[in-house]
Structure 1
Amino acid sequence: MKKHMLSTLFVGVDVSLRSQHAVMLDFFGEQHASIPFPNNVSGASLIISEIIKHATIIKATHVVVAMESTSFYSFHLCNYLFQSPELAAFHTKVYCLNPKVTSAYQKTFVDVDKDDPHDAYGIADFARTGKITSEPFQGSQFVALQRLTRARLHLVENLSREKSYVLTNIFIKFSELAAINVKDPDSPFSNKFGATSMAVLEEMSPDQIAYASLDELIDFLMEKGKARFTDPEAKAKLLQRAARDSYRLEKALYEPLNAAIAASFNCIKALEAEIKAVDKAIEKAIGGLATNNYKCLLSIKGFGPVISAGLIAEIGFISRFSSEEKLAKYAGLTWRKKQSGAFTSDITYMTKTGNQYLRYYLGEAVMSLLKNHNSEYTGFYRKKYDEAIRFKHKRALALTSRKLVRLIFALLRDNRLYTNNKERMKAN
């Protein structure tokens, strides 16, 4: 883009649900148009005509269109302009920019009104001054898969939120059961949201458990747990101990609490079922898309269909990125240097201005590698965990994710399968 700056028309678009505004600048900052248009096909056709008209007037050979990635409002216009055969003649590049970046730039305009024309001007000027560092829009090939992988994250976040919420009601009803860590040997259940634990919380009060006979409690646990407990008597004793150590409530409070807990459990079950359904849809969708890239990522032990699809959906074509540093920056896995004079701070903060969905799936991928005991990444994570002063897990996870970016970039760039250090040593 920089080679053709003098002969480029820069178009900034402020996008909203129903209306949009475009401002067109040449390289020298002269404004050639400021046009409102509706956010529909007719409006998109209008702005294409205006872009061609003004590009012809200034004899531009290239066009750069920039807009903020504002929720989903910019998607249709971005894709429409990208697919336009008329704009292709001007080597048009369309950019969806991070609103945080453009907003910070527009604050440099002193004493300027905050309205659509001025916002569009700021975006156009941002492009004109060569401050765009992101990759241009590459089409909608990965959009369908992306909608699935992002929907899955949305469901997972709702599930996590619902589980956190129901724990408050569980603590009020059964304080000791809520407080015990499931990894503690005194915990009667390995999963507070398992079928048996849910049945206990929905159907019994701490008093009923505390004063029930051991045989009755064992029978209840075996029925609800489908006879899967290896030592049901020990579980029953632990449950009774937790019940006896829990605070007691007035009897009138138990029925409303049971109803609230049951409602949350129903939501949790529904969300878990929907996540499984989306997982199947993701596996089906990825099958016919970027097959080679998918196989490359699946070759990493611990990378299943969901993690691989989530990474591919956000990365798209690896050719968009000239280096693994560019890919890491796109994911927001970069750290700001904090220095003044001879002082350099040991505490640096991650930018997080990149693609949050890609960052999430990289984090999930790292956790999966740790669970599968990948020696290379487990050792690196442990080293960074021990080095960290604060936020040990978060810092180690972020740094290990950054290391993983290098591997993913190399595999996708070279179109090859993964071999770990042990396998490479055996091959040699």
Structure 2
Amino acid sequence: MKKQLLSTLFIGIDVSLRAHHAVILDFFGNQLASVSFNNNLSGASLITSEILRTAVSSKATHVVTAMEATSFYSFHLCNYLFQSPELAALNIKVYCLNPKVTSAYQNTFVDMDKTDPNDAYGIADFARTGKITSEPFNGSAFVALQRLTRVRLHLVESLAREKSYILTNIFIKFSELAVLNPRDKEDNPFSNRFGATSVAVLTDYLSPDEIAYAPVEELIDFLCEKGKSRFSDPEAKAKLLQRAARDSYRLDKAQYEPLNAAIAASFNCIKSFEKEIKTIDSAIEKAVKGLSSNGYQCLLSIPGFGPVISAGIIAEIGFIDRFKSEEKLAKFAGLTWRKKQSGRLTSDITYMTKSGNKYLRYYLGEAVMSLIKNHNPEYTAFYHKKRNEATRFQHKRALALTSRKLVRLIYALLRNNQLYISTRGAVEATT
């Protein structure tokens, strides 16, 4: 092992949109090369030739290459170096590092200027000193699926943001609609601000005055048409709506038309986002079946796990044999907590690192909420137990701890290539 380290080259690459800079160090920290190259195929070929030349001159047998995961700029180079047949003979390992980690290390160089060569040197030295704890890059087999699952998250976040934004305009136009709360909520046509009936009320009527002074019979017919006659007592709902309109604040008449245009635009965006999410869901299901059908079926066997959640987890984990233990997988997801201790004092408050894969952490959280929604007794009980133990941030704390528990189950199923067994503890005992 010592001989291997002595014959290893450590390469740090500072990445950017147009060009990269690489610094090559030996085991003793001597700088053997410093080269800039373009962020394209020709540039990748150039740095490969430089690595091979340096390896021959220094008699190196192994190469460790590290770069920061700066947006998507590092993807092509990372994949190129990993797949290079020439570098495979040098047992190359390629790492995409969290910039937060490397930045903290480079801050220890107090007298060093902030330049691309110096940044590359800091990354190379970070690798040389054995600071890398993450798993190496393992190919791009899951990239296509990952693009789908991540764009779905982007659409979901955009949808949530649009829904949050439209509520401000809804309150300005029709303030009392936001506070309607009849006892029978399931039969309330206005409990869902984005349902067909609420949308029709907000877009078909110019102002609350038109509702307040409309005949009750007209409102009943309107609600029956838009609600497709689902309401048990449409007359009561019509009177409820009319009372809300009379109690709402009034605006100048000139303000209603542009406000209605803004509300209609937001509703169109919401409808578009929902449509695109359904399209992406179909594409995800199709992609994951052709890529990792066994792992996909293993996760689908868990009651509450649907196609999207299962595919999202598989896309971020990739090949499970990348991780030697479930602790490694949990660390990859950022579900670890740092202890704070000084002298005899140990803090009761510990913060989650969150330095791992945020997308995997998101899908684990969605999986936990799905398990609770589907009344999985084990995970529902654990979630509520941890929620009751907390004095603040109850939901976030319980969600994170339950996600950490779920990691053990997922790791066991994927590692053993087995389906979920409903008997409590049967699967997790195998870990």
TM-score between the two structures when normalised by the length of structure 1: 0.96
Report deviation, 1:235. 2.4
CA distance in 1, matches of 2:94, 2:372: 39
Aligned twin of 1:232: 234
Counterparts of 1:5-404 in structure 2 under 5 Å? 5-180=5-180, 185=185, 188-204=189-205, 205-404=207-406
Contact 1:183 1:190 in 2 (8 A): no
Contact 1:188 1:238 in 2 (8 A): no
CA distance in 2, matches of 1:38, 1:184: 64
Distance change (3 Å), C-alpha of 1:232 and 1:147: same
Report deviation, 1:347. 1.7
Report deviation, 1:155. 0.5
Distance change (3 Å), C-alpha of 1:41 and 1:33: same
User: Counterpart of 2:157 in structure 1: which amino acid?
Assistant: E
Q: Name the stretch that deviates more: 214-223 or 30-39.
A: 214-223
Q: Name the stretch that deviates more: 229-238 or 74-83.
A: 229-238
Distance change (3 Å), C-alpha of 1:17 and 1:422: closer
User: Counterpart of 2:316 in structure 1: which amino acid?
Assistant: E
User: Counterpart of 2:343 in structure 1: which amino acid?
Assistant: G
Distance change (3 Å), C-alpha of 1:302 and 1:387: same
Contact 1:177 1:187 in 2 (8 A): no
CA distance in 2, matches of 1:226, 1:174: 23
Report deviation, 1:214. 2.2
Report deviation, 1:226. 2.2
Q: Name the stretch that deviates more: 84-93 or 211-220.
A: 211-220
Give the secondary structure class of the aligned counterpart of 1:54: helix
Give the secondary structure class of the aligned counterpart of 2:309: helix
Contact 1:12 1:23 in 2 (8 A): yes
Distance change (3 Å), C-alpha of 1:72 and 1:3: farther
Distance change (3 Å), C-alpha of 1:94 and 1:180: farther
Contact 1:14 1:119 in 2 (8 A): yes
Contact 1:155 1:275 in 2 (8 A): yes
CA distance in 2, matches of 1:216, 1:145: 51
CA distance in 2, matches of 1:282, 1:366: 20
User: Counterpart of 1:300 in structure 2: which amino acid?
Assistant: I
Report deviation, 1:211. 2.3
User: Counterpart of 2:197 in structure 1: which amino acid?
Assistant: T
Give the secondary structure class of the aligned counterpart of 2:290: coil
Question: CA-to-partner distance for each residue in 1:282-303, whole Å, 9 max, x for gaps?
Answer: 0111111111100000001111
CA distance in 1, matches of 2:426, 2:85: 48
Question: CA-to-partner distance for each residue in 1:20-58, whole Å, 9 max, x for gaps?
Answer: 000000010000000000001111011011101111111
Distance change (3 Å), C-alpha of 1:81 and 1:257: same
Contact 2:189 2:227 in 1 (8 A): no
Report deviation, 1:233. 2.6
> Percent identity of the aligned residues?
78
CA distance in 2, matches of 1:96, 1:229: 56
User: Counterpart of 2:31 in structure 1: which amino acid?
Assistant: Q
Contact 2:21 2:35 in 1 (8 A): yes
Report deviation, 1:179. 4.0
User: Counterpart of 1:27 in structure 2: which amino acid?
Assistant: F
Give the secondary structure class of the aligned counterpart of 1:352: coil
Contact 1:159 1:272 in 2 (8 A): yes
Report deviation, 1:232. 2.2
User: Counterpart of 1:256 in structure 2: which amino acid?
Assistant: P
CA distance in 2, matches of 1:181, 1:55: 72
| Runs (5+) with no aligned partner, structure 2 | none
CA distance in 1, matches of 2:182, 2:72: 40
Distance change (3 Å), C-alpha of 1:326 and 1:2: farther
CA distance in 2, matches of 1:134, 1:264: 42
CA distance in 2, matches of 1:424, 1:148: 33
Q: Name the stretch that deviates more: 289-298 or 415-424.
A: 415-424
Question: CA-to-partner distance for each residue in 1:235-259, whole Å, 9 max, x for gaps?
Answer: 2233223223221112111111100
Distance change (3 Å), C-alpha of 1:181 and 1:288: farther
Report deviation, 1:208. 1.9
CA distance in 1, matches of 2:321, 2:38: 34
Distance change (3 Å), C-alpha of 1:261 and 1:25: same
Report deviation, 1:424. 6.1
Distance change (3 Å), C-alpha of 1:40 and 1:110: same
Aligned twin of 2:420: 418
CA distance in 2, matches of 1:181, 1:338: 46
CA distance in 2, matches of 1:151, 1:342: 48
| Runs (5+) with no aligned partner, structure 1 | none
Report deviation, 1:3. 7.2
Q: Name the stretch that deviates more: 327-336 or 20-29.
A: 327-336
Aligned twin of 1:406: 408
Distance change (3 Å), C-alpha of 1:177 and 1:105: same
Report deviation, 1:276. 0.6
TM-score between the two structures when normalised by the length of structure 2: 0.95
CA distance in 2, matches of 1:246, 1:82: 63
User: Counterpart of 2:370 in structure 1: which amino acid?
Assistant: S
Distance change (3 Å), C-alpha of 1:181 and 1:86: farther
